[in-house]
Amino acid sequence: MTEVVTKVAVVCPGCGRPPGDGGGVDDVGRRQRRLAAIARAASSVADAASLSVTLDVVAREVVQATHISAVQILRVERGTMRVVGKAGFTDADDFAERLEACRKLGARLMFVEAYQSHRRIVVPHRKAAVLADPRWEPLHAIMGAPDWDTFVAVPLVVRGRAVGVLNAFYSPGEDPGNETLEFLDAMADQAAMAVDSAELLARSRHEARLEERARLARELHDSVVQQVFSMRMHAKALRAQVGSATPDQVRGVADELLGLAQNALADLRGLVLQLHPLELAGRGLVGAVRTLAESLQAASGVRIRIIADELPELPTELQDDVYRIVQEALHNVVKHAQATSAVVSIAVTDGRLTLEVRDDGVGLAGTPRPHALGLVSMRERAQQWNGTMEIGNTAGGCRVLVRMTVPEEH
């Protein structure tokens, strides 16, 4: 991989090698740690179900194996860069918005250049320049938190296509040598494979949905449409016989018509249950959440109150994601919170759906684990609708707050 920004190599007076590139005991140990990190990252790419969990693992392995203060892995989706893996940084759900604000102010985004050029970029003493530049002010708090100096951006490239970038923030006094940069290239390759696998999985799911729609269309045509056509013919025959046919003849046609109608209704109900999540079918979002709450309350004894005004028509996929978030949040309340009561509030205002789940339990013990699968699933469901999720303690327990954008046309 070609390096765009070069610097004067710092060498060891005794051996003439750049730091980190020598052959001493420390270097052998460091090399072994890096190889082990690559192996663990490769394993996580193969096994982990969630992209953000996988890339958090990759980021942590980079930090633990090298003299790096922080790592950030960004993925490009529909022209926007979004943080999907990190280590050494505080949580910043609004990073993309802050980054866009910096871009509009005219800040030079070196990692964007690395992404666009498909080449690694190394920038010594980058932190001081960023914090001194008012165009970076929206990100000063986030970029200033870790203790770092030199910056390296490595593009995530798979099959000749850039899908993101890995940003490494080196500790002060650390000079990234060739071996360290090659290690970053290897970890970036692992991250690129993870992103590519996630995209392939999403594409296969989309194709599966298209195939399922085609199957449902065939079933509608082969069963329901044919039965309705037969019902129409029987109705015409019944109308023609009125006044001339005997009661038994009329009754026979009516019975056949009734049987066709019952069969068509059963087929339609079966197809509807396949089109909609079982929990939402026939009840809508609020009804499904109430049923869930009643079931959990009966099983656990935790009192669960639902506050929800009449909601506007929402996309089925959005309803399903909201339901799953409520399901996970209430599961955590029942299993971990030691709560006696919980309140679920759902409202839609000005095109934004707000969901809040509160409990009167013991609250969170310390910072919630961002890579926990339940939290990852809830956050990813919110992000699919340009939303955010916050979780934290309140005066009397714990609160989960989710905001999601309702599409204008659906």
Q: What is the pLDDT of residues 291-307, one digit of tens each?
A: 888 888 887 889 999 99
Alpha-carbon gap, residue 277 to 285, rounded angstroms = 10
The span from the CA of 279 to the CA of 282, in Å, is 8
Where residue 91 falls among pLDDT bands split at 50, 70, 90? low
Distance CA 278, CA 231 (A): 29
The band of 381, judged by pLDDT with boundaries at 50, 70 and 90, is confident
**Vertex 59, ends 56 and 62: CA angle to 5°?**
150
pTM for this predicted structure: 0.47
Q: Does residue 226 or residue 156 have the better pLDDT?
A: 156
Q: What is the pLDDT of residue 380?
A: 87
Judged against a pLDDT cut of 80, whether residue 52 lies above it is answered with no
> Cβ contacts of residue 249 below 8 Å, gap of 6+?
241
| Window from 83-92, 241-250, 275-284 with minimum mean pLDDT | 275-284
β partners of residue 161:
158
Per mean pLDDT, which of 165-174, 223-232, 368-377 is the most reliable? 165-174
What percentage of the chain's residues is helix, strand, coil (to nearest 5)?
Answer: 55, 20, 30
Question: In the prediction, which pLDDT does 196 show?
Answer: 79
| Helical packing angle, 178-219 and 51-65, nearest 10° | 170
Report which of residues 387 and 7 the model is more confident about: 387
Count of CB atoms situated within 10 Å of the CB of 129: 13
Q: Which residue has the tokens 């046609």?
A: 253
Largest Cα separation within the chain, whole Å, is: 115
Q: What local confidence, expressed as pLDDT, does residue 365 receive?
A: 72
What is the mean predicted confidence (pLDDT) over 377-402?
89
Per the model's pLDDT, the better-predicted residue between 163 and 231 turns out to be 163
Burial call 318-339: b when 16+ CB within 10 Å, e when fewer: bbbbbbebbbbbbebbbeebeb
**Residues 106-151: tens digit of each pLDDT:** 999 888 899 999 999 999 999 999 999 999 999 898 888 888 999 9
Decide: residue 253, CB within 10 A, 0-12 exposed, 13-18 middle, 19+ buried: middle
* 48 pLDDT higher than 50: no
- With 0-12 / 13-18 / 19 or more C-beta atoms within 10 angstroms meaning exposed / middle / buried, residue 410 is exposed
Percent of the chain with pLDDT strictly greater than 70: 70
The mean pLDDT of the chain is 77
Place of tokens 């899908």: 163
Query: Residue 152: what pLDDT?
Result: 93
Rounded to 5°, the CA angle 45-188-194 comes to: 25
Burial of 79 (0-12, 13-18, 19+ CB in 10 A): exposed
Residue 291's pLDDT is: 86
Cα separations (Å) of 157 from 154, 184, 247, 327?
Answer: 9, 13, 78, 37
Bigger pLDDT: 236 vs 324: 324
> Residue by residue, what is the 3-state secondary structure of 87-99?
ECCCCCCCHHHHH
For residues 215 and 209, the answer to whether their CB atoms sit within 8 Å is no
Work out the pLDDT band at 282, boundaries 50, 70, 90. Answer: low
**The pair of three-digit structure tokens given for residue 166, joined into one six-digit string:** 């890995």
Local confidence band at 94 (pLDDT 50, 70, 90 cut-offs) = confident
Query: Strand, helix or coil at 16?
Result: coil
